[in-house]
Chain A
Amino acid sequence: MPAGTLYRGREGMWSWVAHRVTGVLIFFFLFVHVLDTSLVRVSPEAYDKVVATYKNPVVNLMEYGLVAAILFHALNGLRVIAVDFWSKGPKYQRQMLWAVVGIWVVLMAGAFYPVLQHTLRELFGS
């Protein structure tokens, strides 16, 4: 059986895709975040009003997603640097990706309560 012609990239390709997707998401959030922060130059009320949006349970969950995207992009970015500058980086790129995923899972588990505590307290009482 001849191998298919579709490129089925493995860890290397999928980490590249995830790096792009998270990067774009983070950049769009950065734009929104600078706009909402600039309301401190309008009035304390205007700023506190927009920050109230960030305390909405659904938006709070999106913040957890933002943390997920940033943590992956940061950890995988360090892996990319290791692949580029460390002589054994390319050889261990796959193992480094699984290390990234492992650290990401641990940090995301640790961030679950702190990031979502506002919503958890609101929904289940303090």
Chain B
Amino acid sequence: MSAETTTPASDSVTGYDVDHPAPVIEPPRARTRKTPRSTRTNFEMYGWLFMRLSGVLLVVLVLGHLLIQLVLDGGVTKIGFAFVAGRWASPFWQTWDLIMLWLATLHGANGLRTIINDYAERDNTRLWLKALLYTAAGFTIVLGTLVIFTFDPNIR
């Protein structure tokens, strides 16, 4: 149980004084000349806002869609080509489905982007997972939009 005494650090120990100042260390998060300009946007804030705005709309659009498709009028029993043709004869339901398709895909893609950023630690893994995600989301939006706009009830 020896009582150790420590000498308080003084300028004579560190070697810095008015004529020999300590080197300036950049704060880790400070923006420097090397910070890419592309990070100087509010992209993440707009993404956050989009999730909430699209979320509110999707509650109405998706729950309405589920009600019509899976709950009312016999549930899944009545679904078939004729049922789809009947619904898409109306521009109202075409527009409903189109907005729902776009919002749901973008909302889901942004959610998955967040999850990839959270769990994929290697830069390359993130890059490839996001490339796959954006490809799938783009494909879904393009295909779905084409199907709604080119639907032909008299295809056969």
- Chain A residues within CB distance 8 Å of chain B: 20, 23-24, 26-27, 30-31, 34-35, 37-38, 40-41, 43-45, 47-48, 51, 54-55, 60, 63, 67, 70-71, 74, 77-78, 80-81, 84-85, 111, 114-118, 121
Contacts and interface: CB of A to CB of B under 8 A. Distances in A.
A34 B145 CA distance: 10
A27 B108 contact: yes
A77 B147 contact: no
Interface string B81-113: 110100000000000000001001100110110
The interface residues of chain B, by DSSP majority, are classed as helix
6 pairs of A and B residues whose beta carbons are closest in the complex: A27-B108, A44-B81, A114-B71, A34-B144, A77-B55, A74-B59
B76 A60 contact: yes
Interface stretch (B1-9, B26-34, B62-70): B62-70
B147 A37 contact: yes
B47 to A, nearest CB: 14
Given A40-B147, A70-B66, A81-B56, A47 B84 contact: yes
A60 B79 CA distance: 13
A67 B69 CA distance: 11
B78 to A, nearest CB: 9
Given A38-B147, A44-B82, 7 more contacts: A20-B115, A37-B147, A55-B76, A67-B66, A74-B63, A81-B52, A114-B75
A24 B79 contact: no
A41 B147 contact: yes
